[in-house]
A and B are shown apart, each in its own frame.
Chain A
């Protein structure tokens, strides 16, 4: 816990430095008061300061750490299997974001739902396919026909020729 917090605090501090650097190229003060650089500058300074404060807090509260963690808590970070599950979800969402404008909403979402339900949800094939069908084609139909919300269509010509 403490280690993770210290790393996060350090990242905040690096971000703070980056922000301060970015803010210096903006106008800090104008004739009548704070300019566009004022807010970012102070926010950067605050990040730096608060990040440092968090680390100092962690260092000094080390002695009390054992007492605090006496309550039964699960380990902060997942085991390998958990990490893989999280990674699968995040990466498949990123994949959808990337491919959706090529293959369209229906195909992308059908593949997303069916693959996740089958692997992570451990559903039967029939359930998987029917939920995936309703979730992709069904949802698309409802959104475009009843709500006038356009969802992405395929841009690959052979897919758009099929009406996807």
Chain B
């Protein structure tokens, strides 16, 4: 067994080596750089996500070799995630669902003059996550994808409940407010055609609402515009952003981030190979885990570097692991990877069990290009951090208008619809009100994103079990995750009760002593 695995690893190395050589052919290398640069630019710009960008470029690739095409499209795919961080951190306007979490602590870091380290650690984490994801693809694609298929709707449902439990319970401040915001997010998530039976809910007869309210538009408003309104209300001052601070993470930052990056890599990779999981869940789960592991969870939401390092890593590890089910089974896990699949198909390459056998040159060149792409992105990114951070030197009295423009473009471009500009503005106004009254945004955003998935997978689990709830306790992984969620909720209550009991005893003892 061990010898067999060794031989396979050797073969893989040889193949990877040949692939690497092919990547350095001028045309392939040119398109790799082009893909990475384009991806990053698309990530920085509001609204257009990688799925839309890849879709736009597929017709262009029809005149290229399939290998060069897919190298470029893949570069756009993982490059977007590097870029998406920048607007989240500097402007609090996440352009894609995966960078929503980054905005929570990343923006707070920027406000404290630590925008540089936030972007730096995101780039480093992304590099590690992306590289590990790709290595998984190179060395164990078949095994990983077969194993991931064992994860069904009930496990997926339990996993999301666990993520919600982690984030809502540990939100700082009033738990009642956190729960109210969580419920509100779930509720807005129910608008539209119901995920299972196709019946419109709360749509008031408007077809526009059938697909639900676009959550990116809501989040851009809630975070980006809401923040501007809070600032604007106290006069337009220029003091907020003037200090940019150090540009790269220091030793302490790296030490604080090491464990979150390791955990983020694992979380992202595992979710990446499960068909149907989204990178937003990976980043939220990583965030929840980091809050849970922290000695002082109250630092989160106020600029904790772990809150940036973990989720950013998870999200890149996810993205690269996403290629595993695509290459081995032809199953695209997310919308963006589905675009890459159609890019492959329209170039005459069909992903599936024969891909590695029939097109080894193609596969290994693309895999090698993804590894080299990570290096290119890191090399481009770290020096770029200095330039991006300069953005914060623009006086706030000018910057705020530019951010406003970006919130408008971002909301519009997600579906090319001015309706979303209204959605964004109104969400922004509510975001401002909630912020003033200390209603936390994190539970709202999380449930908004994954609420529909929770409902869908609950229904699907019950369809699979023909209506028997036993599916939730007879499948071991489902049970473990649900127990984990229950424990996460009960533990703080238990701790609180214990403390209260102890205090009471002490106070009664001191009273007795005094008497």
> Which residues in A have some Cβ–Cβ distance to B below 8 Å?
1, 4-5, 8-9, 12, 15, 19, 22, 26-27, 30-36, 39-40, 43-44, 46-47, 50-51, 53-54, 57, 74, 76-78, 81-83, 85-86, 89-90, 93-94, 96-97, 100-101, 109, 112-113, 116-117, 120-123, 127, 131, 135, 139, 143, 147-152
A117 to B190, CA, bound (A): 39
Jot down 29 A-B pairs with beta carbons below 8 A, ordered by A: A1-B437, A8-B437, A9-B180, A19-B202, A31-B467, A33-B462, A33-B469, A43-B186, A44-B187, A46-B179, A50-B183, A51-B180, A54-B180, A85-B236, A86-B432, A89-B228, A90-B229, A93-B407, A97-B418, A109-B408, A116-B401, A120-B232, A121-B397, A121-B401, A135-B401, A147-B48, A147-B53, A149-B413, A151-B409
**A82 contacts B401, C-beta separation under 8 Å:** no
Q: Bound state CA distance, A152 and B179, in angstroms? A: 39
A93 vs B410: C-alpha distance when bound (angstroms): 13
Closest A residue to B466 by CB, please name it: A32
In the bound complex, residues from chain A placing their C-beta under 8 Å from that of B56 are 148
Q: Taking chain A's interface residues, is the majority helix, strand, or loop, or is none over half, making it mixed?
A: helix
Q: Which of B87-95, B192-200, B379-387, B504-512 lines the interface with chain A?
A: B192-200
B404 near A116 with CB under 8 A, answer yes
When C-beta atoms are compared, the residue in chain B nearest to A22 turns out to be B202
**In the complex, which of the residues B42, B400, B467, B469 contacts A121, with contact meaning CB atoms closer than 8 Å?**
B400
Interface of B is mostly: helix
Expressed in whole angstroms, the Cα–Cα distance for A51 and B465 within the complex equals: 36
State which of B184, B409, B425 has its C-beta within 8 Å of the C-beta of A93.
Answer: B425
**Whole-angstrom distance between the Cβ of A65 and the nearest chain B Cβ:** 14
Closest-by-CB residue of B relative to A99 is B418
A139 touches B177 (CB 8 A): no
Contact in complex: A76, B436 (CB < 8 Å): yes
Asked whether B229 lies within 8 Å of A152 as measured between CB atoms, the reply is no
Residues from chain A with Cβ under 8 Å of B139 in the complex: none
A82: chain B residues at CB < 8 Å are 232-235
Binding site for A on B (CB under 8 A): 41-42, 45, 47-48, 53, 56, 174, 176-177, 179-180, 183-184, 186-187, 190, 194, 196-197, 199, 201-202, 225, 228-229, 232-236, 397-398, 400-402, 404-405, 407-409, 412-413, 416, 418, 421-422, 424-425, 428-429, 432-433, 436-437, 439, 455, 458-459, 462-463, 466-467, 469
Separation of A76 and B225 alpha carbons in the complex (Å): 19
Assess the A40–B201 pair: CB atoms within 8 A: yes
Say which residue of A32, A86, A131 sits within 8 Å of B401 (CB atoms).
Answer: A131
Instruction: Please determine whether A50 and B466 come into contact, CB atoms closer than 8 angstroms.
Output: no
Complex alpha-carbon distance, A117 and B399, angstroms: 10
Among B228, B235, B433, the most chain A Cβ lie within 10 Å of the Cβ of B235
Which B-chain residue is minimally distant from A84 (CB atoms)?
B233
Residues of A near B409 (CB, < 8 A) are: 139, 143, 151
A36 adjacent to B197 (CB under 8 Å): yes
Q: Are B413 and A121 in contact (CB under 8 A)?
A: no
In the complex, are the beta carbons of B233 and A127 less than 8 A apart? Answer: no
| Cα-based distance from A12 to B428 in the complex (angstroms) | 18
Chain A residues with Cβ below 8 Å from B45 are 143, 147, 149
Q: Is the CB of B405 within 8 A of A135?
A: yes
CB of A96 within 8 A of CB of B183, answer no
* Contact A90 B412, beta carbon cutoff 8 Å: no
Query: Chain B residue with minimal CB distance to A148?
Result: B56
CA distance A97 to B45 in the complex (A): 19
A149 with B48, Cβ < 8 A, contacts A19-B187, A90-B229, A90-B428 known = yes
